[in-house]
Amino acid sequence: MATTSTTGSTLLQPLSNAVQLPIDQVNFVVCQLSALLAAIWFRTYLHSSKTSSFIRHVVATLLGLYLAFFCFGWYALHFLVQSGISYCIMIIIGVESMHKYCFVFALGYLTVCQITRVYIFDYGQYSADFSGPMMIITQKITSLAYEIHDGMFRKDEELTPSQRGLAVRRMPSLLEYVSYTCNFMGILAGPLCSYKDYITFIEGRPSHMTQSSENGKEEIQHERTDPSPNAAVAEKLLVCGLSLLFHLTISNLLPVEYNIDEHFQATASWPTKATYLYISLLAARPKYYFAWTLADAINNAAGFGFRGYDRNGVARWDLISNLQIQKIEMSTSFKMFLDNWNIQTALWLKRVCYERASFSPTIQTFFLSAIWHGVYPGYYLTFLTGVLMTLAARAMRSNFRHHFINPPQLKLCYDVITWVATQITISYTVVPFVLLSVKPSFTFYSSWYYCLHICSIVVLLLLPVKKTQRGKTTHENVQLSLSKKFDERKNSLEQNNFSTTNNVCNQNQDTGSRHSSITQ
């Protein structure tokens, strides 16, 4: 019998027992499937052409709060408390400084809740994991606060093109605000979306869509009617089904914890260790594919997420998509992996931290990412390792890649080698994120003799770092040039090129079952 404590409803306990899964995971999946059905009903019977935005806001909010209370019981009150106090700060403090106060409060409240969940409730368990949805709500609160500050206080000429496009020019009403933070489409698993995109969807206002032209650039199209999302939803549900099947049948057979098994460490050869490391982390990803793709499908089913048309005129329903599975699995660079994993969180980090930091934006972004994720020691070990890996990967790529572009056979060989190196490095980096605790994490790294840490340091010490204008390093200029390209495109329609290492392993704790921790 699958037994675990839960603060949510026990109505589905018989189903939990039948499928041999914890009740909190069953509640989550059933609620998300219910949200999918509600989204279809919402688009069909409460379409913006038939219903006022007031009714759509009310229904979306009430359904969201019901799902939250079903999954988490009275712990869902934290969602309202965090949102409510943040809204009061916006009203009382004023647009000049409220973004700073909202940021500190929302992130601080989230951290207190995470500490409570980790050190008062079961360490490493999914039970009562109410902090997962709060991570998404924190993103929404802080994003909106900065967008209001940009739109109502700062001058347009002070804003980047992306900030100007996302800027909110009036204070949202309480209903609009709560609908944005707690709507049924995203309260359990996100993903993050911009406030302007959400309000445009609720009100049914025509939005400026994009279409890829022959040269690959995106052209703005005006007032295009959104096509049916049915094909996109069906495709994403197929991905969800395959991911869930893989997770239930294969993932448990390849535990990440086996990487630190004493017998395995003592007897396995290095090729065997590297192969199992890759396979075990590969097997850990489908639960994220399932949860994030299902969340995307729910939004699409409600009519939210249309991005425009590609060069062939095919509708693109990836406005708020969180990942691109094919690019993740075929990544030939650290950056390519990060750019396609948990995309919306990467956008959030860029908008509220990276492009606003007055000094060391990369370090500040890593630090914010670590705090936002939680208080497990393994998270911080992963981020510290990720800093080294990211910088070393950039140095290697900038110094060597241009030598292997031609001929095609040489580039193919380069791609194969970099694919292997990227997948092993990513897996090596995120092991502590899965193990959670300090002792097993150091046990793993010790068994590998900290070899990738040492190699990264050697690379950074030996490879030349070219100085450019204003004394910035190559690493910084790569990021700045990418940021410029991002800003030239339509806001919130592009993937983030400044994904940070948190995206390797972002664990929306509400989106799937946790790996069991190994106690220190």
Expressed in percent and rounded to 5, the helix, strand and coil fractions of the chain are 65, 5, 30
The 10 Å Cβ neighbour count of residue 260 is 20
- What is the signed CA dihedral for 91, 94, 95, 97, rounded to 10 degrees? -120
Question: Concatenated DSSP letters for 306-366?
Answer: --EE-TTS-EE--TT--B-HHHHHT--SHHHHHHTBSHHHHHHHHHHTGGG-SS-HHHHHH
Instruction: Find the helix packing angle between 270-284 and 286-301, rounded to 10°.
Output: 20
In angstroms, rounded to a whole number, what is the distance separating the alpha carbons of residues 57 and 397?
Answer: 48
Cite the DSSP H helix spans in 204-285.
230-249, 262-267, 270-284
- How many other β-carbons are positioned within 10 Å of the β-carbon of residue 446? 11
DSSP 490-514: PTTSS--TT--THHHH---TTSSPP
129 Cβ contact partners less than 8 Å away, ≥ 6 residues apart: 24, 117, 509, 510, 514
Distances (CA, A) of 378 to 131, 159, 265, 269, 320: 17, 37, 20, 26, 29
Q: Are 264 and 414 in contact (CB under 8 A)?
A: no
Q: What is the rounded CA–CA span in Å between residue 330 and residue 367?
A: 28
Amino acid at 136: I
Catalytic residue among 373, 491, 506, 515: 373
Task: Report the distance separating Cα 352 and Cα 100, nearest Å.
Answer: 10
Known catalytic residue at 402? no
* Catalytically annotated residue among 259, 300, 322, 342: 342
Decide: 414 and 404 in contact? Cβ < 8 Å.
Answer: yes
Instruction: Residue 357: name the closest of 263, 250, 233, 483 by CA.
Output: 483
325, 458 in Cβ contact below 8 A? no
CA 206 from chain centre, in angstroms, equals 27
Residue 89, judged by CB atoms within 10 A of its CB (0-12, 13-18, 19+), counts as buried
237 backbone dihedrals φ, ψ, rounded to 5°: -70, -35
Q: What are phi and psi of 308, to 5 degrees?
A: 135, -155
Place of tokens 């590297």: 274
| CA separation for the pair 21, 75 (Å, rounded) | 22
C-beta of residue 136 within 8 angstroms of C-beta of residue 342: no
Confirm whether 342 is a catalytic residue.
yes
Question: Which of the residues are catalytic?
Answer: 342, 373
